[in-house]
Structure 1
């Protein structure tokens, strides 16, 4: 049996009163995930101030066999930063480690600690006339460490790639307390495995990211945001192909949403209005960007971009944001879909991907299949059509009890959706991670060879199994059997 009292005494001596607390008032807010789907218990909340303290604390946890649940902004979507119900784990918060260690404008790199909030990173880059090319709706709470640990995506993946593509170097504490220091980036380094890539997307199961060196890009000279109304998601797919061909690297984002998602947002936001006057089955939000000195060309590009689709009947109507305020209003409509849905009632939310060229056909096939299989539900798909990732949500029948419905019919729906995605050659997690929410489904549907490799890596780097247990890596079938 682990001596919790002795462990807590030594941890308190190590981290001090600011670094360790068992006060329920301070710990409780971090025991439930952002969606409110998972709630656990914790032995304590640890908040180290630097990498040295993280290292010493993890070593102490290894000595006492204490499980560790790393946590950044607690804004994850899959329960990956929430402890289980045993109360035997500690939450390891990286929020105090929020320092930008260095920013090099000439080489366009920044080294920052895991607790730096994404919006703060954006602002630091902007002061140097640079930008960090990843953003998402939760930028005010998401942290660098969490973004790396989940390989987060967002609305700019179409052009710049997910978080994995932004990481040049990494610092992490491993399960025995040793520090993996690979912060200094090299253009060419052929000394074996790219170990930082093993840690990116590992959800804290292989190591705890404490700092990273990230790439920055020159600031944009301007942007042009277009809102287009279309008759179908297949039309949106054709428009995307057209935009990629005409706009090339200037195409920064391409998001889609159906009419009922826009209607839900307009009901949810009392001061919002539809960008277009008519009714359209689908909407596309398109963002074009230009470098410094090229911004005047954007308006002409936007006009020419729409000419052919209008003439071909592909686009039913469209408007170009007249200024930055209107551009932000367009994006606000897109970013408000999830909270608007929550206000309606329970929903099963699926973060899925299929090959880009198949996504429109998948949506057209899957929506009626789900609604026929589960009467009185409503299936909707919205999001990043340009990179083959949509959020496929299934809304509960009117009056369904929140909490109870998700655990009954909701689970059947998710299994059905995941089966469909797998049949189409896709992934059950495109950008939100596996966490604890999808770990059983990954075990059910994942490739056996890939799962065996994951378990082998986990065993090698965390032989005691103390790093975020129960997340991401499914148990082997024999271990999962009663």
Structure 2
């Protein structure tokens, strides 16, 4: 039962909004943080969200928004300080409307990414944002972190797929801006300000999302390359031959499949001995064109140029799904191995090969360490994760963890990259933002935060420490 301390707040809110806190509400996927909270509110419409925020503003209570809980930078958990109120979107799960002829869908914040994709598919459309966690990740969280995923190369990040938002601002007022327009130059774009703000400026409660017609035919291939430089050259070659029909271009180091063989032996591997480097490529073509022919042509041209030494082209939808499962299960194998330090980084494309080589040498000088580098090479986003030697536990490297994270991020920034590509800043990377963020940009961010959230109640400690 809710304790007596909640009576006053409960009286201000619609019946049933306050709920019991469950252990799942305080967890985060990597187990690095354990959240704390005094109350959990689960509203089922925007008016109830507004009532919760107004009550918290009056009481000076911090609000931590909670979506699917899949975030990896601690943005959804507050491990210390005064206990906040958790604001869960789990009951706001309506697809409010869909206009197939306009390629627009309106979804509430608690709708999962998978449910959004399914709703679009039923109308013969595609919502192209795709993540490994899409069965759990919610639209509100996806937008609040500006998630990227495997198809950002062709379709852009979550920001590019959002036309308008409904949101509750820090004073409890409701911004109703669910426009379906591609062009709207009417002043400051508050929508874009809220996207990627991780709930620190307001609570997104619904969004107008951009759909696309699905490609008439898709093709998937796994191609073996000698190194990341060859993969980058192959990406350029694919662009010349296939234009914007390349949907995804994923770099996979052999360490990923080797981890899978170690902890997921039942997962089918396409190569008995994993090559050191592979590329997973997916293309989507208009009607009348053959994806198999296009991929065969890319393989032949790549082999002639010395970029590709072997490869497999999926011969069925099932085989294509198996290739993608290899990629999508890399994070789960990583979790079972137990990372010392994980890095979600982006680099200018030409800097990727040099970074991988130099960072590997730097980490080798620190001791016996394994590296699993994989990610969305098409847009320069790498997941660069560091693991203990086989037979050792990550806890044995605790003294090195902060140094590894600092040195990897410093190397990324020196090369003109970002220490947060698609997962956000959360609470994990606030120090990095303070250390390497542009001072003028940081000052502007603080001014925006102070203007919109003068009480500092919106996800306190996230993004800006």
Aligned residues: 463
Does 1:68 pair with 2:60? no
1:405-438 CA distance string (max 9 Å, x none): 44x3111110111111111111000000010111
The counterpart of 2:191, out of the listed 192, 196, 200, is: 196
**Could you tell me how far 1:451 is from its partner in structure 2?**
1.0
Give the match's secondary structure for 2:16. Answer: helix
C-alpha distance 99-115 of structure 1, shift in aligned 2 (>3 A): same
Alignment of 1:178-189 (within 5 A): 178-189=173-184
Alignment partner of 1:340 out of 333, 338, 347: 333
2:13–2:51 contact (8 Å) kept in structure 1: no
Q: Tell me the SS of whatever aligns to 1:18.
A: coil
1:35 aligns with one of 9, 25, 30: 30
Question: 1:97–1:116: 8 Å Cα contact kept in structure 2?
Answer: yes
- How far the C-alpha of 1:15 sits from its partner, in A, is 4.1
Match of 1:467 in 2: 458
Equivalent of 2:387, from 395, 402, 409? 395
Alpha-carbon separation, structure 2, partners of 1:133 and 1:288: 13
CA-CA distance at 1:278 after TM superposition: 5.7
Deviations 1:378-430 (A, max 9, x none): 22311101101100111124555545744x31111101111111111110000
- With 46-55 and 255-264 compared, the bigger mean Cα shift is at 255-264
2:307 alignment partner in structure 1 = 314
d(CA) in 1 for partners of 2:458, 2:309: 52
CA 1:43 to 1:279, structure 2 compared with 1: closer, same or farther past 3 Å? closer
Instruction: Name which of 322, 325, 332 aligns with 1:329.
Output: 322
1:11 aligns with 9
Provide the secondary structure at the position in 1 that maps to 2:405.
helix
- Matches for 1:122-271 after TM superposition, within 5 Å: 122-271=117-266
Alpha-carbon separation, structure 1, partners of 2:193 and 2:345: 22
Query: Out of 413, 433, 456, which is 1:442 matched to?
Result: 433
8 A Cα contact 1:80 1:471, kept in partner: yes
Distance 2:112 2:425 in 1: 22
Contact 1:172 1:179 in 2 (8 A): yes
Indicate which of 420, 425, 442 corresponds to 2:411: 420
Q: Distance in 1 between matches of 2:120 and 2:380?
A: 29
* Structure 2 match to 1:382: 374
Report if the CA contact (8 A) 1:167-1:212 is conserved.
Answer: yes
Quote the residue 1:455 is aligned against. 446
Moved more, 441-450 or 341-350: 341-350
Select the residue among 327, 349, 353 that pairs with 1:356.
349
Q: Helix, strand or coil for the counterpart of 1:88?
A: coil
- Mapped partners of 2:395, 2:337: distance in 1: 14
How many angstroms apart in 2 are the aligned matches of 1:87 and 1:404? 32
2:91 maps to 1:104: no
Partner of 1:300: 293
Q: Secondary structure at the match of 1:77?
A: coil
Q: TM-score, length-normalised on structure 1? A: 0.93
Q: Secondary structure at the match of 1:124?
A: helix
What is the DSSP-based 3-state SS (H/G/I as helix, E as strand, rest coil) of the residue aligned with 1:276?
Answer: coil
Contact (CA 8 Å) 2:255, 2:371: kept in 1 or not?
A: no
Contact 2:165/2:208, CA 8 A, preserved across alignment: yes
Q: Name stretches of at least 5 consecutive residues in structure 2 with no aligned partner.
A: none
1:430 to 421, 424, 431: 421
Give the distance between the partners of 1:14 and 1:28, measured in 2 at CA.
26
CA contact (8 A) 1:40 1:83 kept: yes
Q: Quick one: distance in 2 between partners of 1:318 and 1:420? A: 33
- Structure 1's unaligned 5+ residue stretches are 475-482
Secondary structure in 2 matching 1:430: coil
Closer/same/farther in 2, CA of residues 258 and 152 from structure 1, 3 Å limit: same
Change (3 A) 1:86 1:278: closer
Distance 1:329 1:250 in 2: 21
User: Using a 3 Å threshold, how does the CA distance of structure 1 residues 404 and 260 change in structure 2: closer, same or farther?
Assistant: closer
Counterpart contact for 1:27–1:44, Cα < 8 Å: no
Change (3 A) 1:114 1:442: same
1:286 counterpart residue number? 281
Instruction: Note the aligned Cα RMSD (angstroms).
Output: 1.7
Superposed CA deviations along residues 185-220 of structure 1, whole A, max 9, x for unmatched, are: 333322211111011000000000000000001122
Deviations along 1:297-330, one digit per CA (max 9) or x if unpaired, are: 2111111111111122210101100100000000
Among 41, 46, 49, the alignment partner of 1:51 is 46
Residues 396 and 276 (structure 1), Cα distance of their counterparts in 2 relative to 1, 3 Å cut: closer
- Structure 1 residues 404 and 42: CA distance shift in structure 2, 3 A: farther
